[in-house]
Amino acid sequence: MNGNEFDPENCPFLVVKIGSALLVNPDGSVRREWLEKLVAELGQRHRAGQQIIIVSSGAIALGSRKLGFEKGGRATLSEAQASASVGQIILSSLWAELLASEGIIAAQMLLTLNDLENRRSYLNISATFRRLRRNHVVPVVNENDSVTTQEIRFGDNDRLAARVAQAAGADGVVLLSDIDGLYDRHPAHPDAEIIAEVPKVDGEIEAMADDGGPSSGMGSGGMASKLEAARIANMAGISLAIISGIEDSPLTRFAKGGPGTWFHPQEEQSARKVWLGGLLSGDGQIFLDDGAVRALRDGNSLLAVGVVLIKGEFQRGDVVDILDKDGVIVARGLAEYKSADAQRIIGKNSDEIEAILGHSPRSSLVHRDHMAML
Ligand SMILES: Nc1ncnc2c1ncn2[C@@H]1O[C@H](COP(=O)(O)OP(=O)(O)O)[C@@H](O)[C@H]1O
Ligand SMILES: N[C@@H](CCC(=O)OP(=O)(O)O)C(=O)O
């Protein structure tokens, strides 16, 4: 290891995400030679005892070629879904064949956003990953594109990879891309410089993603979704690195000090908080004044007195987004009141609530033990 404190070669349980642009040529054919070399590297790590999950994009790119769709199959949702269902069967047999050539049993897991946002199915998925791990099986994961809707989909595999790492209890995530890391501005800019390490994904880092600029045109997430993936993984105490998969042996290259961006894991939170923080959105939104935002940041529960507005309908125990008055999300948590009651106590002090609702008040609107700061 040389400078990179995240060593994807030796981390015990690793999620490797492979972007469409690496797997599929612009004409829609598979980059088989490249893939064989990558699988040989993964096979070597697997034999050395590393557990691996592969998150593989490429179904839409592969399927759209077969179907003769334009714009890589992404012109409409229905073309993307048809492409994905045709491409996925090609992708799965490819992975099964190549992993078998390394003596590895492959498993297929096609997941939707809903599957991971619902805590019950999230826990089931988690159990399946744990069981597969015990048998040294390598799961190959993709979004189940053909059943998702526009509103309820990841649409990119970066965030999916981070959520999978959380659910499986992995130690690290590597996003293999056609770019070798995060640059301080669009990499096509002559002064762009690569950032080697990111201690925490904050607003300044997020501003570096410039997905309006030129790209391969095949991937869908861009840099913004990679940064969101880093935030989700890091919050769960998981390291994440963006490295280029273009040249051979990308994991070894990075481990030996090659280029890439390493996003540091944050201190691990409780399993429930990690799940909450990794959700893409809540059932309702609670907007706060500045004082309440400060109180939350100091580790306090959310009281009704600091709330200025509530949107959406939710029941007690549902997930709510907590935002500042400018609409920037600051936390996510489980509501102690249903929305109809919460609306009636906006801005009220705790000692006024009993008279308004006619029953003894709960200690807070969202308790700090059921809240993840974002
Ligand atoms: N600050 C940045 N640093 C690096 N790449 C960036 C940045 N802003 C935007 N990008 C774009 O993000 C692209 C990588 O995302 P994407 O094409 O979705 O990759 P993949 O298919 O591997 O998921 C880069 O090729 C680049 O065009
Ligand atoms: N689920 C999609 C992948 C989405 C996607 O394009 O992701 P990426 O190339 O990683 O930005 C597919 O298999 O085509």
Q: What percent of the chain has pLDDT over 70?
A: 96
Domain boundary among 273, 294, 315: 273
Same-domain pairing of 252 and 303: no
Q: Which of 82, 91, 21 is nearest to 59 (CA)?
A: 91
Same-domain pairing of 201 and 307: no
Question: What separation in Å is there between the alpha carbon of 254 and the centre of ligand 1?
Answer: 18
Distance (Å, rounded) from C-alpha 80 to C-alpha 131? 32
Residue 226, number of CB atoms within 10 A of its CB: 30
222 is in an annotated binding site: yes
At 178, give phi and psi (nearest 5°): -85, 0
Residue 88 Cα distances to 112, 141, 144, 291, angstroms: 14, 11, 9, 50
Residue 360, number of CB atoms within 10 A of its CB: 7
In a domain, 307, yes or no: yes
In a domain, 211, yes or no: yes
Residue 68, number of CB atoms within 10 A of its CB: 8
Question: What separation in Å is there between the alpha carbon of 312 and the centre of ligand 1?
Answer: 34
Same-domain pairing of 153 and 43: yes
In a domain, 154, yes or no: yes
221 is in an annotated binding site: yes
Same-domain pairing of 140 and 224: yes
Same-domain pairing of 83 and 132: yes
| Three-class DSSP category at 364 | coil
In a domain, 4, yes or no: no
- Residue 105 domain boundaries: 13-273
More confident residue, 157 or 117: 157
CATH number of the domain bearing residue 107: 3.40.1160.10
- pLDDT at 197 > cutoff 60: yes
pLDDT 10s digits, 4-57? 688 888 889 999 999 998 999 988 899 999 999 999 999 999 999 999 999 999
Same-domain pairing of 287 and 257: no
Contact indicator for 275, 333 with CB cutoff of 8 Å: no
Tokens 């580790």, located at residue:
299
Same-domain pairing of 208 and 325: no
Threshold 0.90, pTM exceeds: no
DSSP 302: B
Number of domains within the chain: 2
Contact indicator for 126, 169 with CB cutoff of 8 Å: yes
Domain boundary among 215, 250, 273: 273
Contact indicator for 84, 110 with CB cutoff of 8 Å: no
| 137's tokens | 């099986």
Question: What separation in Å is there between the alpha carbon of 286 and the centre of ligand 2?
Answer: 33
> What pLDDT does 313 receive?
92
Contact indicator for 72, 23 with CB cutoff of 8 Å: no
| 289's tokens | 């004044």
CATH number of the domain bearing residue 327: 2.30.130.10
Residue 125, number of CB atoms within 10 A of its CB: 20
Question: What separation in Å is there between the alpha carbon of 276 and the centre of ligand 2?
Answer: 24
Same-domain pairing of 287 and 269: no
Q: Give the length of the chain.
A: 374
Kindly indicate the confidence band of residue 1, based on its pLDDT and cuts at 50, 70 and 90.
very low
Q: Which of 217, 367, 246, 245 is nearest to 299 (CA)?
A: 367
In a domain, 327, yes or no: yes
Instruction: Kindly provide the ipTM of the predicted complex, given to two decimals.
Output: 0.96
- pLDDT at 361 > cutoff 80: no
More confident residue, 151 or 116: 116
Contact indicator for 309, 326 with CB cutoff of 8 Å: no
Residue 363, number of CB atoms within 10 A of its CB: 10
Contact indicator for 267, 56 with CB cutoff of 8 Å: no
Kindly indicate the confidence band of residue 2, based on its pLDDT and cuts at 50, 70 and 90.
very low
Q: What is the 3-state secondary structure (H, E, C) of 139-206?
A: EEEEECHHHCCCCCCCCCHHHHHHHHHHHHCCCEEEEEECCCCCECCCCCCCCCCECCEECCCCHHHH
Residue 73 Cα distances to 88, 160, 244, angstroms: 13, 20, 25
DSSP 194: B
In a domain, 176, yes or no: yes
| Cβ of residue 211 lying under 6 Å from some atom of ligand 1 | yes
- Neighbouring residues of 348: CB distance < 8 A, sequence distance ≥ 6: 304, 305, 356
Angle (CA) 197 245 117, round 5°: 70
| 150's tokens | 């526009």
* CA end-to-end distance (rounded Å), the chain: 31
- Mean pLDDT score, 325-340: 91
What is the residue with the minimal CA distance to atom 7 of ligand 2?
Answer: 156
21 is in an annotated binding site: no
Same-domain pairing of 248 and 171: yes
Nearest atom within ligand 1 for CA of residue 182: 3
pLDDT 10s digits, 211-227? 875 555 555 678 999 99
224 is in an annotated binding site: yes
